Amino acid sequence: YVPFDEVVESLNHIGRMLSPKLRETALGGLAVTKTGQKIKKRLGFKDTLNGNADLY
């Protein structure tokens, strides 16, 4: 098996190479879907799309 700390280190390294829109930053993926935006609003988070709902 691969030790947990090596897995975390590897994931961290890969994550830093990814575009911010591909990381878990609420700038891409499920966060930018209509449902994702509704959930964020319901939870009280600010709109990260700034009116650009067509990003996804």
pLDDT (0 to 100) of residue 52? 54
pLDDT (0 to 100) of residue 56? 41
Q: Structure tokens of 10?
A: 């590897």
Q: Structure tokens of 51?
A: 């009116």
pLDDT tens-digit series, residues 1-56: 999 999 999 988 988 898 877 776 777 778 888 998 899 899 998 765 565 544 44
pLDDT (0 to 100) of residue 40? 87
- Give the structural domain span for 22: 4-55
pLDDT (0 to 100) of residue 5? 96
- Counted domains in the chain: 1
First and final CA of the chain: distance in angstroms? 37
pLDDT (0 to 100) of residue 18? 86
Measured distance CA(39)–CA(33) in Å, rounded = 10
